[in-house]
Amino acid sequence: MDSVEKGAATSVSNPRGRPSRGRPPKLQRNSRGGQGRGVEKPPHLAALVLARGGSKGIPLKNIKHLAGVPLIGWVLRAALDSGVFQSVWVSTDHDEIENVAKQFGAQVHRRSSEVSKDSSTSLDAIMEFLSYHNEVDIVGNIQATSPCLHPADLQKVAEMIREEGYDSVFSVVRRHQFRWSEIQKGVREVTEPLNLNPAKRPRRQDWDGELYENGSFYFAKRHLIEMGYLQGGKMAYYEMRAEYSVDIDVDIDWPIAEQRVLRYGYFGKEKFKEIKLLVCSIDGCLTNGHIYVSGDQKEIISYDVKDAIGISLLKKSGIEVRLISERACSKQTLSSLKLDCKMEVNVPDKLAVVDEWRKEMGLCWKEVAYLGNEVSDEECLKKVGLSAVPADACSTAQKAVGYICKCNGGRGALREFAEHIFLLMEKVVNSCPK
């Protein structure tokens, strides 16, 4: 992960890596946020996500899937949907990260090898970006490792910069933690309290706590960055809610962050509706796509009991489950699975059949979920309210969905998607007025 300069009032690294001592200077500002610019026009605010490919802790961490979405996709979705940025960029040195960034609608700055080293700082990469983009007046440096970021937070910070005249704003979180000095042999043999009086330990509700940088974002105006600072001038913090303050640094953070994202993450502008119908492609989703043929020319397929349980749980919760295939599979073989689901096989146009089912049940598209894995599923995946693919789905299908399962087709993907639906439906219920 790119390192971020913190504590700018005492020491900030400049592009050559030498510390600039002392407080950042007070800066004069004009309407565009730059110095010596007399043109009156709205300042160009650019979101910039730094995502190099050489993460040491987790290989290609920035595009590793978290709750079915590439890590970087969570912050790009929030930035784009906030509506406050004239442009949204990803600075990267890696082809796969570039492809994912473009898939989510961001522009890409291919950073040089000079600012892609382990020793490179965020400031190095931001300054390089600005050297190629003279149109940018303000940079909102958003950390890819903060997947619970919401558009509302970015909107409020943009207002602080544009309307209230701040030169830099950074995110913090409030913590109620007592700090103690470190014991060092030969230097300090005993510990001492740093932010409390042990004789009068306050209760949590009687103490405001302290503010800590959480690394979610750093906004700064161009002239400040060009002087070697991300924090300075007229400076302010923006306090984020604790549940939105998630930072993924090491692999052990991943399962914890995944649960937090599923509960508190931002899933897009569209409000979820309660799912009433799940359509699952048979080959490659319900099954692993392998077909075995017996000596008497009968088809033999396999499926995972976990997926059968997933179907049962969905039906018990009131969600209709139907199966579809473009192949002329044997209905007799499928019936022997005893899943008790309506199915259509030998379907040349899956979207037409799903649309017919939707109308038959009196549903809107937002009330339909779809699990597919092939090019033939693409239109359905794009149309429905909730879409998913198994981990081994084709790239075309993966690009069309909102959730990519960890499990392969025929190996638990359907059960996993069912669990995802249940969790999102819980969000729908909890968001309804009481």
Residues annotated as catalytic (active site), given as ranges:
201
In order, the DSSP letters of 137-188 are: -EEEEE-TT-TT--HHHHHHHHHHHHTS--SEEEEEEEE----BPPPBTTTB
Specify the DSSP element, H or E, that contains 132. Answer: helix 122-132
CB-based contact 11:234 (threshold 8 Å): no
CA atoms within 13 A on the CB side of 73: 22
Q: How far apart, in Å, are the Cα atoms of 198 and each of 180, 183, 209?
A: 11, 18, 15
Q: How many other CB atoms are there within 10 angstroms of residue 194's CB atom?
A: 10
CB-based contact 89:48 (threshold 8 Å): yes
Residue position matching structure tokens 């200077």: 25
Q: How many other CB atoms are there within 10 angstroms of residue 215's CB atom?
A: 21
Nearest C-alpha neighbor of 85 from the set 138, 132, 127, 133: 138
Residues 6+ away with beta carbon under 8 Å from 293: 299, 300
Give dist(CA 250, CA 398) in Å, integer: 26
Per DSSP, helices labelled H in 292-349 are 305-316, 331-335
Nearest C-alpha neighbor of 228 from the set 429, 27, 432: 27
